[in-house]
Structure 1
């Protein structure tokens, strides 16, 4: 990934979120990243082990590159907020291209790492266990998990399609990702929206 680390950015990131006594406590960390600090560090450690892109490297001039925490933060912030690649420029001090590459490679690593366990289709036994969990813990029979959605900006949307993919609350073409996850972080359904009526009922079907 192109670009080099700006002095002080990694230290500020650590002081804000990853120090022994960070500026933002656990509750705020979860709010900002949509996950716990422990889970974030677990994923960051996993992706850095299978892909050297996520490790700290130096270029031919000896210039320091971005750290694992910096690269994973760039990717996860985009996923957590569904924002464009340049949204976090001021805080993370890296280019739009680098942010896009972080996101792309991060998603590839996550699929490679967790596909067999968390991205597979549920069988009859899995579904029954999910039913039992929600009924025992929430008195909610017949519940499989939580459904949520996010909008991804379509920068290269053809002009002929812009009207179909543009909503009043966004003002630019987007495509919606709907996903269903269970309490054990198992993403068992994902669906990219197409124009038309797509609600929680017909998406599942």
Structure 2
């Protein structure tokens, strides 16, 4: 074997083999982890979202009682500040929308 510094020595060959084996092993580990993830994701795992009871019906009734009943809790000035329009204009828009598009009419849940 020539004694030139550019010629690989046996220790260089051992290092290359060590690093090549390390890279191969790392690749095998990654492939195994991906296969495990695929196995887990392919299972029929049902995840459910947490249901938060927001009492929508009660909130609707409170809104109607506070602003739209015969004797509302809040007067016209507070209504205008809250909704940035008069109660009369709000009611007119709501009625016009309900007449134009059935999406805006209240109906029972299916």
What is the TM-score normalised by the length of structure 2? 0.47
> Which is richer in strand?
1
- Bigger-Rg structure (1/2): 2
> Which is richer in helix?
2
Q: Which has the higher contact order (CA 8 A, sep 6+)?
A: 1
